[in-house]
Structure formats: C-alpha cells, structure tokens
Amino acid sequence: MPEYSLLSEKIKEGFVRAMAPFCSFLSGLGVSPNALSLVGLSLSMIAGLIYANGAFFCAGAVLILAGTCDVLDGQMARLTGRISSFGAFLDSAIDRFSELFVFLGLAWHFSRLSANDPESFLGSVMVLIIILALSGSFMVSYTRARAEGLGVDCKVGWMQRPERIALIILGSLLAGIPVVGQYIMIGTILIIAVLSNYTAVQRIIYVKNQLSGESREE
C-alpha cells in the first residue's frame, strides 16, 4: 500500500519553508518549542468555544493560528537543537487535546439544534457524526503509534492530521457563505468522519501486510 495523502509533500514542505523566517524570529526571542505547543493548545480551546457558538468562520481563522503553532513548534525544536523524546510525546498529546476541543465545540453547537427544535433530527445525527470523526481521528493516530511500537513505520492514508486540520479550516471559512454555509460545514465533518475511519482501516491493513511479510521472511 503506497504512502500517500490528500496534501502533497510539496505543499507541506512549502508551508514549512514559508514559516522559516518567523520561526527564526521566535527562536531569537527565546520562545521554547513547548511554549509554542501550549499556545497552539490554548488557541484550539478558544476555537472550540467559538465553534460552540456557531461562528464557524471566526473559529476557522483562530484554528489557522493554532495550526501554525503546531507546525512551528517542531520546526523550532529542530532549529534550536532542542529535540527531545518528551517534547515529541508532549506535542502528540497536545495534538489530541487540540482536536478534542474543536470537535467538542462542534458537538455542543449541533446539540443545541435538537434542544431548540425537538422534532429536528439534524442535531442528534450531527453529534453522532462528530463522535465518529473524533474517534476516527484518534484511531488514525493510535494505529500509527501502535505500529511504530511494533517496529513498523506507518504513515499511509488520506486523512492524516495535516489533512484533517486543513479540511476543517477550509470548511469553516466556507461556512461563512450565507444560506449554504452550515451545510458546507456539515459536509466537511462528514468527509472527515468517513475518511479518518477509512484511513485507520488502511493502516490496519498496511501493518498486517508488513508484519505478514516479516513472518514469511523468517
């Protein structure tokens, strides 16, 4: 199974290069990678609160800043030579909490639809879809971590974290369009729910094939 994703490596590398001058500036100010990770977490919490109030466009704008912090912390760690096992562990843990806050905010918003209109199933259905999106996102990360624990480098799949963040930001910004905006956001969440769980299955199959190959070689 080839290692591919929705965002090409050229796009990811281009964004990292574009952020390099800002990363050097922050490094010169003495900002630590872990501090930047915590700033990103705080911004994700703020975005979650904004999502809860249904201001998708504003939440997406804040999420852009949070995602930028997520890119810069790793780049800054490499630039300053402050790479550590704990730093990598902390960054992964913060990533999970960041996604949790975003999906909790979305779930809160859509749950209010059912509360305001008991005859509407949209809110209840969306909460279930958001739970699927959240569990799928966590499973994508878990399958990679578990695979690496077994000695398998597993980065396959369409809906990795950069893709999930980019997609939810895009959907949030387009949600500012009158009338159809909310349906664009609903479609975005549905796509993340389906593709994140599909990616988790992709990784399970990939690891199975890799480990089966090792068994045959033995």
* DSSP string of 27-69, one letter each residue: HHTT--HHHHHHHHHHHHHHHHHHHHTT-HHHHHHHHHHHHHH
Tokens of 27: 């490094």
- The amino acid at 157: G
What digits encode the pLDDT tens for the residues 26-39?
A: 777 777 778 888 99
The answer to whether residue 129 scores a pLDDT higher than 70 is yes
- Choose between 87 and 3: higher pLDDT: 87
- The amino acid at 82: R
| pLDDT at 23 (0 to 100) | 72
Q: With pLDDT > 70 as the criterion, what percentage of the chain qualifies?
A: 85
What digits encode the pLDDT tens for the residues 146-185?
A: 999 999 998 888 898 889 999 999 999 999 998 899 999 9
Count of structural domains, the chain = 1
Instruction: Report, as an integer, the average pLDDT of 176-201.
Output: 94
| pLDDT at 201 (0 to 100) | 95
With respect to residue 2, please indicate whether it lies within any of the assigned structural domains: no
With respect to residue 114, please indicate whether it lies within any of the assigned structural domains: yes
- Prediction pTM value: 0.85
- Choose between 88 and 177: higher pLDDT: 177
Alpha carbon distance 61, 122 (integer Å) = 25
- Domain residues for the domain of 117 are 9-213
With respect to residue 24, please indicate whether it lies within any of the assigned structural domains: yes
With respect to residue 175, please indicate whether it lies within any of the assigned structural domains: yes
Instruction: Report, as an integer, the average pLDDT of 17-33.
Output: 72
Q: Which domain CATH number covers 48?
A: 1.20.120.1760
